[in-house]
Structure 1
Amino acid sequence: MNSTLYKSIEIALIFIVLPISFAFPYAVWMKLSFGIVGFLYVIYVLLKVENESFYIVPNLNWKQFWVETLVKFLIIALVTTLFVWFTAKQMLFEVVINKPLLWIGFTLVYWLFSVYPQELLYRTFFFKRYKNLFKNESFFLFFNAILFSLAHMFFKNSLVIVLTFLGGLLFAFTFNNTKSTLLVSIEHAIYGSWLFTVGMGTMLGFPT
């Protein structure tokens, strides 16, 4: 299970074939089944093959993380607010103002059932399992971001693909620097929730 060939096939099946298949019209129960089986396989490999344990990395530099995340968030907030203002002004903060319960409910579900599983798969598992296959670290991070955006193909939305690629780059750099699933999940949750908050939910296929 640790040979280069095996890992290459694993990448192709889990991170390319499976996500692309979700963009095609077939039974939802089959998609859910494939997704669940794939995720359980990832957990098994993490625990039994890679000997990974779920723990919080000690001595995290929380101050540096929050400073860097705040700077990036302010830039993202400014750009996305202007984008919504000029492209769909009526949607600016529409969900927060008119449907606060939906906003709270979606945010909680998003954090628990979307953000953490994604980071566990695309950062913790991917970095632990495949980083040694790549000689060039920059290409590895770029490739990780490409695959992360590919996972969102089922939205069939070019804006989603672009944003998830950019987000994938940010998250890949954060995880590469911190080695912390917790920190990168917090960052992911903040940016993703903001996009829903600022009014980009409809554009990105979120429930509004």
Structure 2
Amino acid sequence: MGDTVARMVAEFILVFVALPVAFAFVHVPGGPIPVLLLLTTAVVWYIRRSKDFDRGALWRSAALRPALPSILRLWALAAVVAVAAVWLFDREHLFDLPRHSPGLWILIVIAYPVVSVYPQELLFRAFLLHRYANLFRRNDRLAAAASAVSFGLAHLLFGNPIAVILTLGGGWLFARRYQRTRSLLVVCAEHAAYGLLIFTVGLGRFFYHGTHFAS
């Protein structure tokens, strides 16, 4: 039993701590997306073989409608704060992506939820919260904190504290939402809404260097 726990701890540290920290200091050709998709493939293989994983959690559309009012209230508040913050402290970049590169912005709106959001949620919520539940003694708050910290560490590669701080908060929110709804669809919708808000209001350059435009 002790050996099993030790292996799980080592695996968690390797995948969710050591790998993202190393990624922040080592240039990997192609960026993070190929690595994320590779890990997603491994997660899908794990889920298919796991007899006790609730596969209904990969969709569970019935959970979306009851969760929407809460999601929309929080998102609306975040949108007001984000727009106000960029307007006050970085006005020249307000809505810079849709203004300066509408084609790229539309591409992100279409591709981001599929290529980035779903793989991240599959890895940091569905997989992490299931596989390592026993490590956290099935304490939901402790597990959510581990998910949030791991999610924040994964954004060290962007080289700025704003990306890490925002994803720490987002990681906690998404983990708790997943724990309450057991629906990856719900969490992906919420994650995508915040991500697209970031890329729209002028904070995208903190998460993807290709969205930094000269004023």
TM-score of the aligned structures, taking structure 2 as reference length:
0.86
Once residues 132 and 59 of structure 1 are traced to their aligned partners in structure 2, the CA distance between those partners, rounded to angstroms, is 28
- Percent identity reads 32
The structure-2 alpha-carbon separation of the partners of 1:143 and 1:49, relative to structure 1 and needing over 3 Å to count, comes to same
Structure 1 position 49, deviation (Å): 3.1
Q: Does 1:64 align with 2:50?
A: no
> Retained in 1: the 8 A contact 2:59–2:185?
yes
Provide Cα deviations, 1:64-99, integer angstroms capped at 9, x if missing partner: 211011101111001111110011112111222332
The AA in structure 1 aligned to 2:169 is L
TM-score of the aligned structures, taking structure 1 as reference length:
0.88
**Aligned residue-pair number:** 206
The structure-2 alpha-carbon separation of the partners of 1:33 and 1:9, relative to structure 1 and needing over 3 Å to count, comes to farther
The structure-2 alpha-carbon separation of the partners of 1:152 and 1:50, relative to structure 1 and needing over 3 Å to count, comes to farther
2:175 corresponds to: 172
> Retained in 1: the 8 A contact 2:61–2:185?
no
Structure 1 position 206, deviation (Å): 4.6
Identify the range of structure 1 (115-124 vs 35-44) with the bigger mean alpha-carbon deviation. Answer: 35-44
Once residues 117 and 150 of structure 2 are traced to their aligned partners in structure 1, the CA distance between those partners, rounded to angstroms, is 16
The AA in structure 1 aligned to 2:93 is M
> Retained in 1: the 8 A contact 2:36–2:120?
no
2:198 corresponds to: 195
The structure-2 alpha-carbon separation of the partners of 1:50 and 1:85, relative to structure 1 and needing over 3 Å to count, comes to farther
1:146 corresponds to: 149
Q: Does 1:82 align with 2:84?
A: yes
Provide Cα deviations, 1:150-195, integer angstroms capped at 9, x if missing partner: 0111111110000000000110111010011111001000000001
Once residues 192 and 33 of structure 2 are traced to their aligned partners in structure 1, the CA distance between those partners, rounded to angstroms, is 23
Structure 1 position 111, deviation (Å): 1.1
Identify the range of structure 1 (83-92 vs 29-38) with the bigger mean alpha-carbon deviation. Answer: 29-38
The structure-2 alpha-carbon separation of the partners of 1:34 and 1:73, relative to structure 1 and needing over 3 Å to count, comes to closer
Runs (5+) with no aligned partner, structure 2 = none
Calculate the aligned-residue CA RMSD, in Å. Answer: 2.3
Runs (5+) with no aligned partner, structure 1 = none
> Retained in 1: the 8 A contact 2:98–2:200?
yes
Structure 1 position 202, deviation (Å): 2.2
Once residues 12 and 70 of structure 2 are traced to their aligned partners in structure 1, the CA distance between those partners, rounded to angstroms, is 31
Once residues 43 and 152 of structure 1 are traced to their aligned partners in structure 2, the CA distance between those partners, rounded to angstroms, is 22
1:3 partner SS: helix
Provide Cα deviations, 1:35-89, integer angstroms capped at 9, x if missing partner: 55543332222211355436522642x3321101110111100111111001111
The structure-2 alpha-carbon separation of the partners of 1:36 and 1:68, relative to structure 1 and needing over 3 Å to count, comes to closer
Q: Does 1:134 align with 2:136?
A: yes
Provide Cα deviations, 1:16-42, integer angstroms capped at 9, x if missing partner: 111111112344269777655543332
2:95 corresponds to: 93
Structure 1 position 112, deviation (Å): 1.1
